[in-house]
Amino acid sequence: MAVIGLTGGIGSGKSTVARMFGALGVHWVDADDVARQVVEPGTPALTRIAEHFGADILQADGSLDRARLRTIVFEQPEERAWLEGLLHPVIREELIRQLHPADYSLPYVLLVSPLLLETDQHQLVEKVVVVDVPVEVQLSRTMARDDNDKAQVERIIAAQMPREKRLQKADEVVDNNEVLSNVERQVGELHKKFMVAFG
């Protein structure tokens, strides 16, 4: 079975497009969700983190204090390296597990990830689909959705791969600067293409 990567900048419409594939019966896994799941209370990774950084890294309810962890790894590169060494293989293994559900009959699944091209996650996929919108649209949709201020969203966009570079790495592009019905049509066409290519 083929794994196809779906990526795009913040607010480009990855989740929106993934749900459209989902409506056609395509299984998809969100890499951000998996990164959160592997450190939920009760997981081996969270136990290791609490042993390493001390119980202060947990909140009263036993969940990870992400803000505190972010501060530590921002200030101490060697701690960042330790954390990445722990989480990287765990996330990868869980991604691979979730990408292969039992009783699945279609010939492809989707890995949805904002960092597909920036990390070695691209090694898990056979093709790359980029969800593309102009930066102004990214900005306005993200601000409307998250109630973030403009400077904050601009900083995130600046830290991500530039639009042109991302498009160069695309095998397929979904133009999401369109009304949703037109985006659905593009998704339908890609679905047909993948069903033939991998069927």
Residue closer to ligand ATP (CB basis): 5 or 8: 8
Min separation Cβ 5 and ligand ATP, Å? 13
- Give min distance, CB of 126 to ligand ATP, in A: 21
Is 11 marked within a binding site? yes
169 to each of 50, 114, 122, how far by Cα in Å?
Answer: 38, 14, 10
CA angle (135 as vertex; 12, 193 as ends), nearest 5: 40
Binding stretches for ligand ATP (CB under 6 A): 8, 10-16, 114, 141, 145, 176, 178, 180, 183
Is 12 labelled a binding residue?
A: yes
Residue 113 marked in a binding site = no
Q: What six digits make up the tokens of 117? A: 């091209």
Task: Indicate the residue among 79 and 172 with the shorter CB distance to ligand ATP.
Answer: 172
Q: Residue 46 or 131: which CB sits closer to ligand ATP?
A: 131
Whether residue 15 is annotated as binding a ligand: the answer is yes
Question: Contact, 31 vs 113, CB < 8 A?
Answer: yes
Distance set, CA 148 to CA 7, 103, 145, 158 (Å): 21, 41, 8, 15
CB of 179 to ligand ATP, least distance (A): 6
Looking at beta carbons only, is 46 or 111 nearer to ligand ATP?
Answer: 111
* Smallest distance from ligand ATP to CB 171, Å: 18
DSSP bridge pairs for 29: 111
Task: Quickly list DSSP for 100-117.
Answer: S-SS--SSEEEEE-TTTT
Which residues define the annotated binding site for ATP?
11-16
